Amino acid sequence: MGKGRIREEILSRRDKEPEDLRRKKSRKIKKRLFSLEEFKRAHTILFYYSKGSEVETEEMIKEALQKGKRVFLPKVRGREIYLGEIKDLGKDVEKGSFGILEPKGTPKKTTPKGIDLVILPGIAFDLKGKRIGYGKGYYDRFLKELPKKVSFIALAYDFQIVNSLPCKRHDRGVGKVVTERRVLERRR
């Protein structure tokens, strides 16, 4: 099955999931994420701000800030991701590209050297850590700029995990996928 078909099927299933069930699963995912050593050790985290039927990240971002973590969100301009630090989720974001909340203000090309952990969205993931996103390649291009020591963790509902995905060489995988049922580590 091709990427387009996989995207279509998983998005359809994700969109049909009742909101209260998604919220409940998102809380379980948050608990698992926050228990991981990578999260506990991280000082600076790049989150994504969830939209639609994605795993909800708003409460995760708020709690990470309360725990004293530095939190950045992506801001899309053209074909690039820029970073903006968030100190107060209520004041520091505005609706941006694709209707997603992004950091306010003019984007700056920030070097991602200080990032310890990247929390990624996605549509489908496999047992080898391969990821299918929304097809625009923003994260694939951005993640190549990060040092190898940075941890990549994706958040997903368990039904977004498949045995194998068709991916290309430029597609960037993840080290772990956190779902409401388990934490999957990349198989080599």
pLDDT digits (tens, 9 = 90+) for 104-142: 877 665 555 688 999 999 999 999 889 988 877 778 777
**pLDDT at 110 (0 to 100):** 56
Task: Extract the residue ranges of the chain whose pLDDT is less than 50.
Answer: none
CATH of the domain at 161: 3.40.50.10420
Mean pLDDT score of the chain: 89
Contact present, 48 and 73 (Cβ < 8 Å): yes
Domains in the chain, number: 1
Handedness of CA 77, 82, 84, 90 (dihedral sign): positive
Q: Which domain holds residue 65?
A: 3-185
**pLDDT at 59 (0 to 100):** 97
Neighbouring C-beta atoms of residue 87, cutoff 10 Å:
9
Collect all residues with Cβ–Cβ distance below 8 Å to 11 and sequence separation of at least 6. 53, 123
